[in-house]
Structures are given as structure tokens and as C-alpha cells.
Amino acid sequence: MTKKPSRAYPASVEELTPIEARAEHARLQEEIAAHDRRYYQEDAPTISDADYDALRRRYEELERVFPELATAESLTKKVGAKPSEKFAKVNHAVPMLSLGNVFSDEEVLEFVARVRRFLGLGESPLRFTFEPKIDGLSCSLRYEKGHLVQAATRGDGYEGEDVTANVRTIDEIPQRLRGNHSDVFEVRGEVYMTHKDFAALNARQKELGKTLFANPRNAAAGSLRQLDPKITASRPLHFFAYGWGETSALPANTQLGVLEALRRYGLPVNPLTTLCENAEDMLAHYRAIETQRATLGYDIDGVVYKVDDIALEERLGFVSRAPRWAVARKFPAERATTILRDIEIQVGRTGALTPVARLEPVTVGGVVVQNATLHNEDEIARKDIRIGDTVVVQRAGDVIPQIVEVVAEKRPNGAKPYQFPHVCPRCGSAALREIDEKTGEADVVRRCTGSLVCPAQAIERLKHFASRNAMDIEGLGDKQIEFFYDEGLIKTASDIFALAEREAQMSPRLAEREGYGETSVRNLFAAIEARRSVPINRFIFALGVRHVGETNARRLARHFGDFESLRETARDAATGSEARARIDSIDGVGPAVAEALHDFFAEPHNERELDALLKQITLEPMPAVASTSPVSGKTVVFTGALERLTRDEAKAQAERFGAHVAASVSKKTDLVVAGPGAGSKLKKAAELGIEVITEDEWFKRTGQG
């Protein structure tokens, strides 16, 4: 899922004081670096392209108005993110840099004028190539004497990941170039996945109960960056060449000429690449491809303009992390107009009632959209969304459809304001909005109160119980759980461990049902058996107690040590009791968690189910905390872009060494581990005199080399 940036900025950078600008620049640097890591390393962005671009524009504007902020550590001088430790590294002989972005006709015209001014061309002819900007994963292919010898991802622009074995499985990439070519030729291009292939891949993922890919870009990146080339080979990847890196000789003196040579060599080049004689051509081609975008069959997120004459490119050179001779024009988040046919209420595992818009199918950004999120009842009321309305739909970040606004003048006669249900549509129980005891404000989410009788919650709880971060039962995905629930084979979590026994009494047997076979059934039962012994923190998380996520599950497991201690304390933790005080004393566990634990463990139905579950499984203790480690008992804060660990890995590692990980720097902080891009937290540590070390120093201090 994508999300919006976490705050609004002052209207004008010019209005900021130098102190305010430095503080905001530091905050943005940390936030952008984290998004870069999630996008480039983890193939799991949590923000839309449009919102990311807004962060970048604000960051660059700060440096324009306050030049002293543009230090050597500035993100304007960096590209992408550090390559993953999973792959061997490849140093790019010629850096794989990024492109500057523009977003309007005026900015395109200014780019052309800027190039002319730099070169002193006046009104002399100046041609630009025009090409679609493929939304995929950048890749460099090194050919020596015509043979493919190495392939690498962009990485941070200077060092990428060696994906040679995986690239060799892509049919469109030749192992040997055709015709005459230089001895060394590095081809730069984009690995991508078509809409058709993406839909088929996700359909297979769903059948297998595996995680679905959010979009074709993530699917392509995740497929190329597999440790097992066989997995890459099973994925339908494609490639478009758009440029070059190191080469002993170029086959032409223009961009278009080189691309034509690459096509002769046997490399795929986008057929929509063309030559623009002037700025008017550039704008006209942009408008034309904008209307074709939905019919291309693959995702593009803009277009790229490049000076065609390579000699002029060399004169123009580079500025910061981008060439002066090229620019990307990004598309705005794409919108379309359609009709809202109905509003359906979905019930989640915590009883949350979530409204979903059912739309007249419409193509948005090359994808047929039939559903869109409506968030909650307050959002429906604020936008005055009614069934039958004509609405503007936007795919936020080209991923999640949402309704932006209602076209009021097209509202049908008699359309009535939508009345959000006050009872659960699945079980008829009351659906209430919780009231915050401190503020007196109602929660934006309305929840079903019939958690023990509501079938929607039962199915969602079972899905959560078996999910990857909980019990991690491979092969027991959403589709399988829904089937077993409907068949009456699994109604509670404990039923999962009796599935083999119950299946033996089925007629026809499971292996004879469509979508199953002897091997898949055997593998499923083996996966269930393998999870009869699990770490206690996973089990606590799997129970689906409200407010108890993975972090709180670890905290509870470490504090209580065994499950029965937690169970007995939570059951007795009525408000004002000693047991409640004990839970409240756990660092990081607040009153809402304590209340949820008491409600869960004091419920007799849950007690009986827990007894049944614990007869089926064995709970393993969490790995022992290293009480004698140099950081045991210390409060640690990680900040900046960590290069050897993900943030989750760093946190888990610190906890294993007996440290407490905090989100912010305070007087209680003992140690700050700072990576590149560390901002306000680093400044705060300096003000408080707190020790700051690098990631490498963290590894040395904890005895990991």
C-alpha cells in the first residue's frame, strides 16, 4: 500500500529561517533515504511516485534557496540506494546516474532554453530524441567481443548487484550480439513486465497462496533480483535498451543512431522512440503518448527527452546526479471518470467495517479499475459520495484506486446521502465507533462487536493466524482457508492441526478436488506438521489480539517468558488491579494493549480455544537475550540509511543483544547508530552529548566483525 507524506509544509521555502530550513532538510533527507531503500533494495515502496516527487522537489528547493545545505552528503548528489548484500557487487565503469524531472509544458520549454543558453546556440537547429520512460528496473549489460559477460542493477549508481545468471534467462536479451560492434559495449536499459504477464503471474501467486505483487514494476524487480535463477526464468520478463555505458567505440554520433545500431545488434528498442525537431514536437509527442498510455500493454510513468547530438551531450556534461542533456517528464497521477454503482462493506479480522466502491469498469493508467477504497464513513460524508454519482477515480501512485471527488453537476435526481450501517452486514451484531477516554473523540473506524460469532472475522483471523509473519503455514493461503471454512473443515485455529484427520473422512477426498493433487495435499499437511512447534512471540502475534503486533508480541514474550504467565496475568488484568499494573509497566506497552489483552484472555470462548490449541502445539522460547553484551540494557536509536541491515533486522539484532530500541532520541538514549542521511536525530544526539557510532562500529561493538 501507498501512503501520503506525513506532514504539510509551509507554503514557501523563502519564508523559512535558516534554522527552520536546516531542520526540515534533515527530516526530508532521512525520510527520502528510507523511501529510496524501500523502492530500490526491497522492491516494496510505501509511497506513491507523485508523493515521492513532491518530497524530492521540496528537498531540492530548500537547497536552491539555502545553498549551504547542499553538502557532500546531500541526496541530490546520490542515486538510488546501496545494493543488497544478497548479491555480488559490480562497479559501474560509467556511473548509472538518474534524470532530473519536469512536470509541465513550461518546464520542458525551460529545459530546452537552458540547453541552448549553455551551448550558446541561439536559434540554431537542436534536435532531441523522445522515448517512453519504462516503469521497471534499470539494468546494465556488458558485452565483450559480442558476448554477454555481466549484467548488473543500478544500485546506488556507482555500484550495483550482479544479476548475470538471472538476466541470461530473459529471452529478449541476446547472449551474443549480431553484426559489427566494438569489443566492449555496455548496454543500458530497463527490465519490465507487461500488464498481461503481470495479471497471469498474480493469478498463479494467488492459486499458490503466495503474496501478490503490487504492480508490474515490483514484480519485475522482485523477479530479476531472485537468488535462484530458476525463479527468474519462470517469470515473463522483457527488456528495452535505451542507452549505453562503457564502450570502446560508438557506432554513431547521435542518440537515435546508436539506438538503431542496438536494434541491429539484436537488442529490443522501444518502437515509440522518435526524433523531435523542436520544442513544439516534444510537447506534441508527449500529448500523443499520454492518450496512448492505457493501450501500450506495459507501464510507463513519463517520457524522456535527450539531446540527440552526442558531441553536444559531451559539452553539456552532468550536474549533481543527472545529465544536463536529458530530462524526464513525469505523468501526473492518472485519473478517469466513471459511475459509482454500489458501496460494499467489508469486515476485517478486527471487526473493522471498511467501505469499498464498486465502479463501472474504467481504464486508469493501463489497468481496468472496478473497485476503489472509500477509507471510512467520515470520508464518505466529507466528500458527499452517493450511489449513482459520477466520480473521478485516481490510482494513487499508480497502485491503489481511490475516489478523488464527485462530479456534482452529473448527480442523478433522487440520489440520497449514503447511510453507513450501524450493524455488521455479516452477522447482524452492533457496529460501534470506540470513544477515546482521554479526548472523548470517536474512532474513525466502526467495528463489529460480534467477534466470536461473526464469520467474516473468523475467516480473517484464520488467515492472519496462518500468515507468513505469524504461524507461517506454507500452502495455507487465503483461498485455501476460505475453502476449508466453507467446507466446515476449519472453523477455529486448532482445527488446522486436525485437518489431516478430518480430510480422511471427506468424500471426495481433497486430492480429488479441483485445484488439488496428491503432492499439494501432502505438502500442505507436512507444512502444518512443521508448525506444531513455534516461537512464543509468533504464537502471541498469530492470536490476532487487537493492538498486539509483532513488536508488542516480542515485548510480551520477553517480559513473561512463558505463555501461561502472560495468560494468567492478562486474564486478571482488570482496571486498577496489580496484574494491570504489571502489564502497564512493560516498556512500550500502553493502556490500549493492556485492555485488549484482558478482553481477549478473559473471554471464556477464547480460553477454550487456547486450551485446544496448546494441546496441538509446543511453544519455543524466544532466543535468549545476550545479557553480557556491550549494549545489554542500553537504549539504542537507529537513524539514517543503514547499508548492511534493514531497519527491522537492526531492531531485532539489538533486542537479541539485550538492548532496547527507541524511535526517537531523548535523555534516556544511550547510543545512536547513524547511517548516511541521518538528520534531526543526529543533531539531537549531539545537543544531548549522546554517543554516536556508525553501522560498521555497531557490528564491531556487538562482536560481529
**Residue numbers annotated as active site:** 133
Short-list 628, 629, 646, 622, CA closest to 704? 629
Q: Would you state the cell numbers that stand for residue 545, as one nine-digit string?
A: 489480539
CA trace torsion 17, 22, 28, 31 (10° rounding): -140
Q: How many residues does the chain have?
A: 705
Surface-to-core class of residue 356, CB atoms within 10 Å of its CB (0-12 exposed, 13-18 middle, 19+ buried):
middle
Task: Determine the residue type at 187.
Answer: V
Lateral strand order in the sheet of 635-639: 660-661, 635-639, 671-674, 691-693
Cα–Cα distance measured from residue 698 to residue 705, given in angstroms and rounded to the nearest whole number: 9
Residue tagged 512447534 (cell numbers): 533
Residue tagged 549551504 (cell numbers): 68
Q: In this structure, what DSSP letter does residue 333 have? A: P
Task: Determine the residue type at 622.
Answer: M
Burial readout 238-273 (b: 16 or more C-beta within 10 A, e: otherwise):
bbbbbbbbebeeebeebbbebbebbeebebebbebb
Q: In this structure, what DSSP letter does residue 69 have? A: G
Residue 635 has a CB neighbour count (10 Å cut-off) of 20
Q: Would you state the cell numbers that stand for residue 17, as one nine-digit string?
A: 529561517
Q: Identify whether 508 is preceded by a cis peptide bond (ω within 30 of 0).
A: yes
Q: Would you state the cell numbers that stand for residue 390, as one nine-digit string?
A: 459520477
Bridge partners (DSSP) listed for residue 319: 322
Read off φ and ψ for residue 349, nearest 5 degrees: -70, -25
List the end-to-end C-alpha distance of the chain, in Å, as a whole number.
Answer: 37
Contact by Cβ (8 Å): 517, 509: no
What's 87-119 look like in SS3? CCEEECCCCCCCCCEECCHHHHHHHHHHHHHHH
Contact by Cβ (8 Å): 400, 374: no
